[in-house]
Structure 1
Amino acid sequence: MNVVVVESPAKAKTINKYLGPGYKVLASFGHVRDLPAKDGSVLPDQDFEMFWEVDTASQKRMRDIADAVKSSDGLFLATDPDREGEAISWHVLDLLKKKKVIGDKPVKRVVFNAITKKAVLDAMANPRDIDTPLVDAYLARRALDYLVGFNLSPVLWRKLPGARSAGRVQSVALRLVCDRETEIERFVAEEYWNISALLKTPRGDEFEARLVSHQGKRMQRNSVTNGDQAAGIKALLEGAAFAVDSVEAKPVKRNPGPPFTTSTLQQAASSKLGFSASRTMQIAQKLYEGIDIGGETVGLITYMRTDGVQMAPEAIEAARAAVLDQFGPRYVPEKARLYSTKAKNAQEAHEAIRPTDFNRSPDKLRRFLDSDQMRLYDLIWKRGIASQMASAEIERTTVEILADNNGEKAGLRAVGSVIRFDGFIAAYTDQREEGEAPEDGDDEDGRLPEINAREALAKQKVNASQHFTEPPPRYSEASLIKKMEELGIGRPSTYAATLKTLSDREYVVMDKRKLIPHSKGRLVTAFLENFFNKYVEYDFTADLEEKLDKISAGELNWKDVLRAFWQDFFAQIEDTKELRVTNVLDALNEALAPLVFPKREDGSDPRICQVCGTGNLSLKLGKYGAFVGCSNYPECNFTRQLTSEGGAEAEAGGNEPRALGKDPVTEEEITLRSGRFGPYVQRGEGKEAKRSSLPKGWAPADIDFEKALSLLSLPRDVGAHPETGKMISAGLGRYGPFVLHDGTYANLEGIEDVLSIGLNRAVTVLAEKKANPGGRGRTAAVALKELGEHPDGGAMTVREGRFGPYVNWGKVNATLPKGKDPQSVTVEEALVLIAERAAKDGGGKSKAKKAPAKSAKAKSEDGAAAKPKKTAAKPKAAAAKKAPAKTATKAKTTKKSAT
């Protein structure tokens, strides 16, 4: 019997069916060990020695794998075919060697790009050894990310309170978003005019032509810059005679794009399906690992972490055969299409993402897939099959028209396209590929009627429309991924994790699918650009990625790369010791002037305090982050919250609040304000004025007089309890909405409940609280979905909680990612979330079940000392105090680490 190790239980289940009774397939559940999120996990002064930690869940899994290997004939490491997969195999093998269970048993590495029976059996028949250079590249990347995050983040915490972390790729991606926002702020709109004429042929057909020249001068889109110029040209055309100067019809071929890579799939899924990058990868992972198709679990797509654009020869032949069968011989090109990537630093060791069987058309799989799976598979199948189809043949007609008004001349042009043969477009029957040819029967520039050279045209109407240039658009997830790929920043497997980190850190916010930098993100970026500029430069980051790729190719020594990086980085960290907070604030005031000091409508100096008239406004740093304050504090207590929109004029202490109306009882003014701790409403003035913060989900722009009055009326009396006769009240407290009776609090779901709850329901909620005193005023959460048994025993369920849906296993509660549908959670996703939550709890001090922290002498799972006594080369900036529980380097998780 042979043991086969893969990452996920779903993958293990599928492969076990393919291999039969002579094999035992076990899952590692991703990485089995990681660098502990504490000082000393990577020691530069000890030649970058790295100390790994195995979490509790992985220890049990490794024991199961070790027990199986003891009685086996051999070991096959069948983790994913990329750098992370190679690293998981290396970790598993290293731990098994330390457990001394390998002995002289043969150990082989097998890789397959698709989980199909043929691909798996072929891989098992052609094993290899672990790819050492690929593992070295993983070690270098992991060490770099640790050294940057764990040493740079403490500098941020000390010099820029409120900042949470910095990262080697994360911070550069954030800079892209912030730089675009700066471009938008500095953009000055310019006026331009479009001029066109509606003309009629002698046969009575109308068409539109646009101005392209005037008095022999070529006219660009923004050549006409004012209304007077536009009016003059329009007058010329109004009185001109029009004649066709030339008609040219030119055939044009449109070629299909290559199959998807990781980044192009994420871009297409974002723009066409509205999926986030992480959602796309979750669905693609499921399609790759296998779907139950009529009682058989089948992998539907090839491996989804790749930047290769080429398909395997047998896949190309299968695609061409499917084209012949489904579209006919004319749609099969004479030769197979071959593609090469244009992305910087791309590695083409793996296939592009494609269907494992082109005969499984989306229609055949519709009943086996859920809605999102179906939509993504449809996208992949169409792109894959179209990549091997004939070119579309389009006839593009250009008509040049001369307008003459008593010798004053202008030129106009009309363009139209007609698809003569749809070619690969036939694959897209219900959607259009971005940047490619239109669908069958659709016109790129519109159809033109029959137009002949030298014939006269009748003028119907002349249009002159005013426009203004627009700033560059904010990045979407798709366009940011595309930009990162163009610059060579990060790798395909890291994009989703990088974007998620920026969102989780609240460095960016998503608005209408556009990424807007939060004030926190802009502060961090400005700080890094001023004091660590080299490490957020695009070229430097791309060059480092190139070096990591050369390590994986065996062209560079990984420790040489680390030594060169650490020497300069350590010196930069040391230099920050002399950096004063005042230096930081001065630099940020200048770098973020449009954000910190937005222009005032009256034209006054935005840096002078409007309250006292003499103080200078400046950024201030508090416990909860940055805000704007007056230099005359405490005589002047003017403050303004710093927001991503430049900060609304909502300050405390003599500011300019927004009046909402007068209280009908007290006749005091009710106003909307914003302070250091966020927006709030206030009745009256002075220290005794009644105030109420805005509850979660209520935006300042939506607050009107009625809402403000209802907040200021809290707590409100609901009614007397029928048993005690004592009053029940409802209010908004430190821990959220509640009802109160005789000293007993019971939590409510939202502010709407506080404002609308009646006596009967309030009594019920209080009774449930009494029956469930440990539930903080809530009944036990009802399971939304049963997931089955955890591998370590105990039921797993998806539940609805106070802060949203979460996965529950025993005492472990793991919140679902934002936007995740509770009903779509799979067992594999739940196991990863639970393992992450358990790992994080293991580093805190609030959970009763966690193991005590290891000392320097404590033994790790593999029997080696967890960490030797440190020598002195760690930067004091990072080693001066014990790291907080949350650092830039993630705690141990069971899923793949990401840059």
Structure 2
Amino acid sequence: MKKKLVIVESPSKAKTIEKYLGTDYKVVSSKGHICDLATSGKGGLGIDIEHDFKPTYRISKEKKEVVKELKNLASNADSVILASDPDREGEAIAWHLARELGLSTEDNNRVTFHEITKPVVTQAIQDPHKIDMDLVRSQEARRILDRIIGFKLSKLLQNKIQSKSAGRVQSVALRLIVEREEEIRKFVPEEYWSVEAKVKKGNQTFEASLTKVDGKKAEIHNEQEAQEILDRARSHPFTVVSVTSRKKNKPPKLPFTTSTLQQESSTKLGYGAKKTMSIAQKLYEGVDLGGTTTGLISYMRTDSTRLSPLFVSDTETYIADTFGKEYSGTAHQKNSTNAQDAHEAIRPTDIHQTPEAVKPYLTNEQYRLYSMIYARTLASLMADAKFDVTSAKFAADGCEFSASGQTMVFDGYTKVYSKYEKQTTTLLPKLKPEEVLPNTTIDASQHFTEPPARYTEARLIKELEEKSIGRPSTYASIIDTLQKRAYVTLEKTSETSKTKVFRPTEQGELTNSKLQEFFKKIINVQYTADMEKNLDIIAEGSEDYIQFLRDFYDDFEPLVEKAYEKMPKKELEKVGRACPECGGDLVYRNGRFGKFISCINYPTCKYTENADDTLAELEKTEKICPECGSRMQIKKGRFGPFWACTAYPECKHIEPLKEKAKPKPTGEICPECGSELVERVSRYGKTFIGCSNYPKCRYIKKTPKAAKKEQDAAEQTAVDTAAENTVEAPVENAA
């Protein structure tokens, strides 16, 4: 009996879905895209611009066997169902599959899964629909735009200034980073002073800040002005002017979109955008929970904060049963103006799948990300946190000071989200108007204004989203490309800080400078944001995408022609020596890992050497590859320099630059296998103690600090468990 063939993108997703659908279905993977624009035709664009931008697609070399197998399976199947991801890119993949497999776009052969759970998958299979050709046209227009801009600008920059590439969104992101660096360079610090009163009443001490002087906002520019205010304030009684109390509600944050997940993951977990999306993909596709494979989160590429009514209803019941009815809140939704709202927010597929319940089946990274998604979603449907806020004003000879304190009276959503959002409690003593506070010390402090902060990954992603540049699903690849092209570096703000910020490289600044000189009309925030709006309109079927492309090209092509004519060509800096292999001049070039020396005749001659004097001197020592006999040279990688065979890729032999230090015996015995413990050095240069029987035994001795942290965590878990099993007094009584 013939089976129904279901084609998805991911192999791991295929295994999960096949288990749900049973023996009547065969589920296979296309392993992502099977086609892309060809690199043939005029300019290698794969697009016939003169004939309505007609694209030419080719099957990727590595996908030819995949397509051959899919055709064979389709010809022997009862029917074919296309189940690629539920977004524009997924719709385009479904269309390419239909075209290659000879399927009609008029048939109901397309299904989408917004979460990989058995009920959702089986329901979707029963309700197929046509391929959405408006979405396909929108994605095709995006791909054509990216190809034209990317190919033409990249070729221009390679020819003129030796930059590797440019792109429709990539280059705007680079512009933001460079502009921020220029702001920092131009910034001139300005001196200012603040005045603080330290007040003691009874056993309590609090601080009040100077806010006004003679009824006007306090602005103190130098030490003389600060001293004049100190003399006034210190010579008069510090008196309470007014005390006010109010209630304040703090609502929970909305559930995650792709962008906010990437931002929060960066700041709270330390995961980059690329890593975050990779972990989320696995959680979406499915995890084996002790014999049952299920997706733990809904689709992770979304710009919507909407939650399905069914999920909201289930979660409201869960909140009431678990925490009490007073913790139940209301579902909120607030989408950006350019949100597609095609999917729900990122959420758990089942609110009863708590992080602790699935922890045994997850990696540490999966557990940490899932815990944050779970807590954020649950918190978004809980009640506001409630505070009592007290504000007080004080005066001393026309100098007005202010202080405030707050106390949480109801924890609300913070009951589940306090780990990711710290709340502070500050108390003021009981105060009465006209009360004089004699135990007051008033001092002034000097400060200087600071330049705007450089972009972290989180800040850059937030900026891109707020300015409607690109799509959240593309942010990870944009950031990755900027680093790979050596246009920016991601560096720690200090040796002790974990925060990393983007800095443009010399080549990045040159690239931005030339793009702004010749393509300012195209490579700017507003033009890029307007493009995204037009692509959305095409997806809705409300705009002719051919006319949209024609309007763009009429603006773009004259700029390219002018740049070829007017942009000066940057000459490569010569080293002053001849290439030992072909006799050509040796020149300096910029690579991903910094400056290096190569032959001017590249790619005909591929000779390279290090620009670093120390490494260059070391490289003069002739080293021969033990596997093929070719000369070896020093290369730089993400973990530093290493020896590599010059016959690469035919020979892939590599060696560390320095001989690895032999493990040093410690005299201790491994508690797991009885072998000797030794001192080792990790690839990051950190010393640790591990088993000499590695890799058979992977025991690593914890440092006293790590052991203490683990013990504290265990004790806290015990306290939390005990608290959960204790009936709490009503909040009002506790307060």
Q: Same fold (TM over 0.5)?
A: yes
| Alignment of structure 1 residues 226-245 onto 2, 5 Å | 226-245=222-241
Change (3 A) 1:209 1:388: same
* Offset from partner CA, 1:350-379 (integer Å, 9 cap, x none): 100000011111111111111111110011
Aligned to 1:53: 58
**Alpha-carbon distance, 1:577 to partner:** 3.6
SS of the counterpart of 1:272? helix
Aligned to 2:520: 533
Change (3 A) 1:259 1:397: same
* Offset from partner CA, 1:709-745 (integer Å, 9 cap, x none): xx79x6xxxxxxxxxxxxxxxx42499x7799xx996
| 1:385 alignment partner AA | L
Aligned to 1:14: 16
Aligned to 1:362: 355
Hey, what's the Cα distance between the residues in 1 that align with 2:50 and 2:636? Answer: 53
Aligned to 1:137: 138
C-alpha contact 2:204 2:429 (8 A) present in aligned 1: yes
Hey, what's the Cα distance between the residues in 1 that align with 2:487 and 2:105? Answer: 52
C-alpha contact 1:747 1:776 (8 A) present in aligned 2: no
Is the aligned partner of 1:71 residue 2:76? Answer: yes
**Alpha-carbon distance, 1:472 to partner:** 0.3
Aligned to 1:44: 49
C-alpha contact 2:10 2:31 (8 A) present in aligned 1: yes
| 1:270 alignment partner AA | S
**Alpha-carbon distance, 1:675 to partner:** 9.4
Aligned to 2:28: 26
**Alpha-carbon distance, 1:63 to partner:** 1.5
The worse-fitting range, judged by mean Cα deviation, of 541-550 and 566-575 is: 566-575
Query: Which residue of 403, 411, 415 corresponds with 1:426?
Result: 415
Change (3 A) 1:416 1:27: same
**Alpha-carbon distance, 1:215 to partner:** 2.3
Is the aligned partner of 1:732 residue 2:619? Answer: yes
| 1:359 alignment partner AA | H
Query: Which residue of 331, 334, 343 corresponds with 1:337?
Result: 331
Hey, what's the Cα distance between the residues in 1 that align with 2:39 and 2:502? Answer: 29
**Alpha-carbon distance, 1:464 to partner:** 0.8
Hey, what's the Cα distance between the residues in 2 that align with 1:25 and 1:69? Answer: 11
Query: Which residue of 89, 98, 102 corresponds with 1:93?
Result: 98
| 1:421 alignment partner AA | F
**Alpha-carbon distance, 1:258 to partner:** 1.0
| 2:206 alignment partner AA | F
Aligned to 1:688: none
| 1:77 alignment partner AA | L
C-alpha contact 1:215 1:410 (8 A) present in aligned 2: yes
Change (3 A) 1:676 1:227: farther
Aligned to 2:709: none
Hey, what's the Cα distance between the residues in 1 that align with 2:476 and 2:621? Answer: 35
C-alpha contact 1:746 1:778 (8 A) present in aligned 2: no
Identical counterparts, % of pairs: 38
C-alpha contact 2:37 2:55 (8 A) present in aligned 1: yes
C-alpha contact 2:597 2:610 (8 A) present in aligned 1: no
Hey, what's the Cα distance between the residues in 1 that align with 2:220 and 2:105? Answer: 81
Query: Which residue of 455, 458, 463 corresponds with 1:475?
Result: 455
| 1:32 alignment partner AA | I
Aligned to 2:309: 313
| 2:384 alignment partner AA | S
Query: Which residue of 254, 262, 280 corresponds with 1:284?
Result: 280
Hey, what's the Cα distance between the residues in 1 that align with 2:363 and 2:246? Answer: 45
SS of the counterpart of 2:402? strand
C-alpha contact 2:610 2:634 (8 A) present in aligned 1: no
| 1:420 alignment partner AA | V
Hey, what's the Cα distance between the residues in 2 that align with 1:519 and 1:496? Answer: 23
Hey, what's the Cα distance between the residues in 2 that align with 1:640 and 1:375? Answer: 44
**Alpha-carbon distance, 1:237 to partner:** 2.1
Query: Which residue of 489, 506, 514 corresponds with 2:501?
Result: 514
| Alignment of structure 1 residues 776-795 onto 2, 5 Å | 776=653
Change (3 A) 1:367 1:17: same
**Alpha-carbon distance, 1:78 to partner:** 0.7
**Alpha-carbon distance, 1:430 to partner:** 2.4
Change (3 A) 1:362 1:385: same
Aligned to 2:464: 484
Aligned to 2:401: 412
SS of the counterpart of 2:390? strand
* Offset from partner CA, 1:195-248 (integer Å, 9 cap, x none): 0111123x34321111011123222xxx11101101111122222201111100
C-alpha contact 1:738 1:747 (8 A) present in aligned 2: no
C-alpha contact 1:747 1:778 (8 A) present in aligned 2: no
* Offset from partner CA, 1:756-793 (integer Å, 9 cap, x none): x9xxxxxxx9xx99xxx9665769xxxxxxxxxxxxxx
Change (3 A) 1:564 1:231: same
**Alpha-carbon distance, 1:750 to partner:** 9.6
**Alpha-carbon distance, 1:47 to partner:** 1.2
* Offset from partner CA, 1:437-484 (integer Å, 9 cap, x none): x44xx32xx222222222110233222111100000001111111111
Hey, what's the Cα distance between the residues in 2 that align with 1:777 and 1:476? Answer: 34
SS of the counterpart of 1:506? coil
Change (3 A) 1:68 1:745: closer
* Offset from partner CA, 1:829-868 (integer Å, 9 cap, x none): xxxxxxxxxxxxxxxxxxxxxxxxxxxxxxxxxxxxxxxx
| Alignment of structure 1 residues 536-547 onto 2, 5 Å | 536-547=523-534
**Alpha-carbon distance, 1:277 to partner:** 0.5
Change (3 A) 1:560 1:642: closer
Aligned to 2:154: 153
Change (3 A) 1:525 1:327: same
SS of the counterpart of 2:373? helix
Hey, what's the Cα distance between the residues in 2 that align with 1:387 and 1:777? Answer: 51
C-alpha contact 2:82 2:110 (8 A) present in aligned 1: yes
Hey, what's the Cα distance between the residues in 1 that align with 2:441 and 2:145? Answer: 65
**Alpha-carbon distance, 1:156 to partner:** 1.2
SS of the counterpart of 2:521? helix
**Alpha-carbon distance, 1:338 to partner:** 2.6
Change (3 A) 1:386 1:143: same
Q: How many residues align?
A: 617
C-alpha contact 2:238 2:440 (8 A) present in aligned 1: no
Hey, what's the Cα distance between the residues in 2 that align with 1:580 and 1:540? Answer: 22
Change (3 A) 1:248 1:50: same
Gaps of 5+ in 1: 433-437, 583-619, 626-638, 645-673, 679-690, 696-707, 715-730, 758-764, 780-803, 806-899
Change (3 A) 1:568 1:345: same
Query: Which residue of 452, 465, 474 corresponds with 2:445?
Result: 465
Is the aligned partner of 1:575 residue 2:562? Answer: yes
SS of the counterpart of 2:388? strand
C-alpha contact 1:320 1:332 (8 A) present in aligned 2: yes
C-alpha contact 1:745 1:777 (8 A) present in aligned 2: no
Change (3 A) 1:191 1:331: same
Change (3 A) 1:236 1:168: same
SS of the counterpart of 1:470? coil
* Offset from partner CA, 1:781-810 (integer Å, 9 cap, x none): xxxxxxxxxxxxxxxxxxxxxxx99xxxxx
TM-score norm. by structure 1 comes to 0.65
| 2:167 alignment partner AA | G
Change (3 A) 1:249 1:146: same
Is the aligned partner of 1:400 residue 2:400? Answer: no
SS of the counterpart of 1:109? coil
Aligned to 1:120: 121
| Alignment of structure 1 residues 462-861 onto 2, 5 Å | 462-512=442-492, 513-581=500-568, 621-622=571-572, 693-694=611-612, 731-733=618-620, 776=653
* Offset from partner CA, 1:76-134 (integer Å, 9 cap, x none): 1111110011011000000111xxxx589965110110000011011111111000100
Aligned to 2:722: none
| 1:307 alignment partner AA | D
Hey, what's the Cα distance between the residues in 2 that align with 1:734 and 1:53? Answer: 47
